Structure 1
Amino acid sequence: MNDVSAARSLAQRLRAAGVSLALDDFGTGFASLLYLRHLLFDFAKIDGEFVAELDTSETDCTIVRSIVDLAAELGMQAVAEHVGSSGVLDVVSREGIALAQGFGISRPCTEDEFVTRHLTASSKER
């Protein structure tokens, strides 16, 4: 991000228009604490590197717990990326993360498949 002032201005205009903003891949690469300092986000999407082995890595649990606490202190919701199994989803839930994505929740599907699987009252595949 070369022009923090322009990015902040754009983010403010988007939020004023009702757009929610998410910081993707938080914890790695360019998604750093610097962005949290200068921009307003609604969501911090925890990079999958820290989520994928939550059910077996105490270190990852500590890192994720810290990110969740930081996000909450800054008025954001944490989102867990790369939830690949029910074991990881259990830990995500236990750590108080209400939003998650990954193959352990659902594989990619067409709109019709999504409606049938998740929105139809008679769906048996829930």
Structure 2
Amino acid sequence: MSDSHIQVTTLIEPCGLDEHPDCGIRDVLTRVGDKWSVLVIVELASGIRRFRELQRGIDGISQRMLTLTVRRLERDGLVTRTVYPTVPAQVTYELTALGSSLTDLVKQLADWSLDHRETIGRSRAHYDAQHPDNEIH
């Protein structure tokens, strides 16, 4: 093992051990790391959005999935939902300070994904050619 690997593993306490049965990492990453949550955070990083604006900005998300996603993000304190007393009611969504603190990390992940998508695509094609019966997609 390299020195840097040893240094990193000693800085991060492993979850799931007797002394760390549930450190909370999995729970938080499940929320902020899911596909739709990341895309909602990216969309809201540009500012306040109405529901339909969010839906138009996130290709492929259904109304139901967007509703669930923004409710979960609101519950976690990452998004604020504001209802205005109009007819029909106008609802807007915006990132909280906590949600905004994620935007730099999400942007880094998005940038990394764009920088490496072709390499990953080639790796997938190579793997699939070497394993024609694989069911991994």
Asked if Structure 1 and Structure 2 have the same fold, meaning a TM-score greater than 0.5 normalized by the shorter chain, the answer is no
State the TM-score, normalizing by the size of structure 1.
Answer: 0.30
From the two aligned structures, give the one with the greater helix fraction: 2
Q: Highest Rg: 1 or 2?
A: 2
State the TM-score, normalizing by the size of structure 2.
Answer: 0.28
